[in-house]
Structure 1
Amino acid sequence: MTTLIAPALIISECQRGMLEPPAGALASLADQARERAIIAGIAELAREFRARSLPVVHCTIVHRADQKGLLPNSYLGKMALRDQTMIEGTPDVEIPAELGPEPTDLVSARATGLTAFYGTDLDAMLRLQRVQTLILCGLSTNVALPGLAMDAVNRGYDVLLAEDCTAGTTTDHHAYMVQNVLAPLARITRAADVVDRLPE
């Protein structure tokens, strides 16, 4: 099995506002994350990366308190404006304790847009760590992870998706997006296979 070249673990949008939302539009996503037990799987992956001194990066949504940078030009934008979700300084933006962040982790927060590279220092942080391969996990296979994968490929990174550490809004939506959208962009794998391929 080929060893991964300069890998980093990218944890997408694993925050309380996504994982523990009130009843509404995100409840099904949180349900799927629980059913698939992705937090435990991601936590184990993160431990393996940290044990090898490999980068662990949390990509988070942190909207400004005045909501500047948010536009009602998508359903997600309208929902965030209406419900005032994922606002800086609120419990919504907190990362679950099981995931950290640990002192060695990196955190890349975005206040606007729908994907982790947009308007953030993520690309610069990865290049300064000489990262070449991104292992994607977290939320969601509906929007954030496909966008992240495409942006990463456009920037020249190799991309793997730890599929058993991801979730979408429904089982069917998740399967469709993985097979038809993510598979052309990223190698679909499982967390255990990622660990087996990590450099020592």
Structure 2
Amino acid sequence: MPQHYLYGELRTLPSTEAYRKFFDIAETAVICIDMHKGHLSDAPECPCPAPRGRPLVGPIDTFHDTARGMGIRIVHVKSQLRKSGADDLNGIPSAWRLGFSEYVGGIPNIAEHAIEGSEWTDLVTRVEPGDEIVSSKKRLSAFYPSDLDFLLRQMGVKTIVLTGIMTDCCILSTAFEGSNRNYRVVTVRDLVAGTNDELEEAALKIMSLNTGLVMDSGDLIEAWTSSYVSASAGSDRR
């Protein structure tokens, strides 16, 4: 039987319809968040380095290939800001530019983060024909103020599967907002990365209690393909 994490403890998924509904492939999309050069480049001028995300590129691509092969839609979400600074630096700047930057000892090229037309918005994970891209993310949540919610509802999506970075800010914010918008949310524990072990663990525990399921990619694929979900396949698509 597939397993999930509840407050850090690995447990067998309960065999109830409420849980099985998370694995209806026809109503599912994978949302890959901010896997772009602005976080993942190893260049000294990288405007917001997230080096813990670099080892995830290959595994995320492999997971996305498996999902595509099952007919699951892939949506790549990336931050993108106006060159004028009107939606960030010249207004009220994003709060992470203060606290996070101070915590890591300053980020010299921070003003270039996510500027439209720059190399820093280029996705590092592979984008295939048929994938969708949402490039209007301005703050931590993939839903704000982008058209992600509109896109998902147009596609008939009711379950979102989160991969990417960063676990303790963008993934966490997206999980809460997705849950608040009444999506079923699955966070893929081995395909997200955050600031450090402590904050990753805390964020995953919080999400496991409050936003939906936290699962390893292998268990999620097993749930999609095994008899676990067959009892509710095609039933009651509320």
Q: 1:74 to 1:128 in 2, by over 3 A?
A: closer
CA-to-partner distance for each residue in 1:143-198, whole Å, 9 max, x for gaps?
1011100110111100011010000111122112211x222212110111121223
- Residues in 2 aligned to 1:144 and 1:176: alpha-carbon distance in whole angstroms: 14
Q: Which structure 2 residues correspond to residues 133-172 of structure 1 after superposition, within 5 A?
A: 133-172=159-198
> Paired residue for 1:51?
69
Query: Is the radius of gyration larger for structure 1 or structure 2?
Result: 2
Question: 1:87 pairs with 112, 115, 130, which one?
Answer: 115
Deviation at 1:199, TM superposition (A): 6.1
Instruction: Judge which range, 182-191 or 152-161, deviates more.
Output: 182-191
TM-score by length of 2: 0.73
Do the aligned residues in 1 keep the contact of 2:166 with 2:192 (CA within 8 Å)? yes
What is the rounded CA distance, in whole Å, between the counterparts of 1:75 and 1:154 in structure 2?
A: 22
Match of 1:62 in 2: 80
The alignment status of 1:17 with 2:45, answered yes or no, reads no
User: After superposition, where does 1:101-116 map in structure 2 within 5 Å?
Assistant: 101-110=127-136, 112-116=138-142
Q: CA deviation at 1:73?
A: 4.3
Contact kept, 8 Å, 2:164 with 2:193, in 1: the verdict is yes
2:199 aligns to what? Answer: 173
Decide whether aligned partners of structure 1 residues 16 and 24 sit closer, same or farther in structure 2, where only a CA change above 3 A counts.
closer
- Cα distance in 1 for residues equivalent to 2:225 and 2:35: 25
How big is the shift at 1:113?
2.6
**Identity across the alignment (%):** 22
TM-score by length of 1: 0.86
> Residue 168 of structure 2 aligns to a residue in which SS?
coil
Paired letter, 2:119: P
CA RMSD of aligned residues (A): 2.4
Residues in 2 aligned to 1:174 and 1:95: alpha-carbon distance in whole angstroms: 23
Instruction: Please state whether the residue corresponding to 2:224 is helix, strand or coil.
Output: coil
